[in-house]
Structure 1
């Protein structure tokens, strides 16, 4: 069996033309990369031997900071095996560090350029904090589900302009939520967010697929290989087969499709943050 391509998830800053790519693969290696969305250039941040829960992570509106939840299973270490951290994009070195000790809740959302909500759940310890950043204790996220990834991911989608449409219960421990976002020219991007035990090979228990719904009464166009997709200005961007793609949206569909970056041929490298 050929190896699976790396999994790609992207966080887009709302007030700056940057993004943070979270690239996972092999399963216990993850890297972060800065995406300059004006020039479509990419800069490697850092690697982590462990897991970053991308659906419990967020980039600040100005694109300068990342809040993320990670796990390396070293339960007797200072990190207690899992932790929430805040770092400077695109690096992972913590400037604020909250050991967790389990994989319930964790991570958080940015509520301003320097204000963040910590998905505390059963509680973090605070090892050190950043004086320039402020924890938002008043924020009440809407639309969260359960105590794992969806407690952050669904509120992030709603904040970023997605509309929740429906929840489909398939069987016990298997359901999907449908989100939609207009992408211009009469088209709608549909995100099908799966949550299940016993997911398909190569998928985690939380995974997404997508459809394009056109302006005419025709069946939706299935895009089952798109693991992440979003509107970036007037273009559509998505991740599939370990690559980041882009295309323009026109009344008759997507045109000028291109690959922005191929993340397949990357290997772990110990990199120090410049701070």
Structure 2
């Protein structure tokens, strides 16, 4: 878990987890203080029941609100605002073991549509649209679901996010992964960026992760310019760190 101050581009290394965090089922509160996530370590006889949803204080993972689950369906959630969140739990299978976050759980649905069957798409696609991405189309003809999202940039450029979901695994990825491309609406030029694992618009700059490095650039008529590295994650190794709360 990492803290990122986008005003200064300072990165703070937080806690590690010996397990799997389902990144598509996570969300950060608007004020950046709290993190809701779903994780699994397959220790089915432990207090966590092998998988759990939790709310922590970013950039740490120690649970303030701790909700053991016991399987890997559903889980995680979304924030409505700094104090109110929604838990992805249609069938009420989470067990509340601790609740010290001071936040309020809302039972109302965060979106008028639903995606998937309570898994990653059910949160991820809502989160993308909430954060300004326009869902363009979905194609399932290849045996997996491929959904294209777009966000406008300056100079007629558009950032495309192609979200893969299903059981087909592309080389170097999991079952759920993203590809990206830049498309110019005026000229029709398409720049495919298959090595980008994540990308987002931040004001006048474009941000992305490629080969374990966080990078930024500006956009001009030709595409990317003034590229620079913000942080290289490759040298990071496991460290045991206690949360300061």
Asked if the contact 2:55–2:101 (Cα under 8 Å) also holds between the matched residues in 1, the reply is no
> Does residue 228 of the first structure (1) align with residue 198 of the second (2)?
yes
Partner of 1:70: 39
Question: 2:101, 2:238 → 1: CA distance?
Answer: 32
Q: Distance in 1 between matches of 2:155 and 2:117?
A: 36
- Residues of 2 paired with 1:184 and 1:134: CA distance? 38
Q: 1:20: which partner in 2? A: none
The equivalent of 2:75 in structure 1 is 106
The 1:225/1:113 distance shift into structure 2, 3 A limit, reads: same
Matching of residue 154 in structure 1 with residue 125 in structure 2: yes
The answer to whether structure 1 residue 196 and structure 2 residue 169 are counterparts is no
| Cα distance in 1, alignment partners of residues 123 and 213 from structure 2 | 25
Q: CA RMSD in A?
A: 1.2
CA deviations over 1:58-88 (Å, ceiling 9, x no partner): 0000000000000000000010000000000
Q: Kindly indicate which of the two structures has a greater share of residues assigned to strand.
A: 1
1:23-55 Cα distance to aligned partner (Å, 9 max, x none): xxxxxxxxx110111111111110000010010
Instruction: Provide the residue aligned with 1:242 in structure 2.
Output: 212
What 5-or-longer segments of structure 2 have no aligned partner?
A: none
Aligned residue for 2:56, secondary structure, equals strand
Q: Please report how far the alpha carbon of residue 143 of structure 1 lies from its aligned counterpart in structure 2 after TM superposition.
A: 4.4
Question: In structure 1, what is the equivalent of residue 27 of structure 2?
Answer: 58
Per the TM alignment, residue 271 of structure 1 is displaced from its structure 2 partner at its CA by 0.6
Give unmatched runs, 5+ long, in structure 1.
1-31
Partner of residue 167 from structure 1, selected from 119, 130, 138: 138
- 119, 124, 132: which one aligns with 2:102: 132
Q: Report the TM-score when normalising by structure 1.
A: 0.85
- Name the SS of the counterpart of 1:67 in structure 2: strand
Report how many aligned residue pairs link the two structures: 243
- Structure 2 SS opposite 1:272: coil
Higher mean C-alpha displacement, 255-264 vs 131-140: 131-140
Q: Give the secondary-structure state (helix, strand or coil) at the position aligned to 1:155.
A: helix
Question: For 2:125, what is the secondary structure of its paired residue?
Answer: helix
Residue 132 of structure 1 and its aligned partner are, at CA, apart by: 1.9
Deviation of 1:196 (Å): 2.6
Which stretch shows the higher mean deviation, 239-248 or 198-207?
198-207
TM-score (norm 2): 0.95
Matched, 1:47 2:47: no
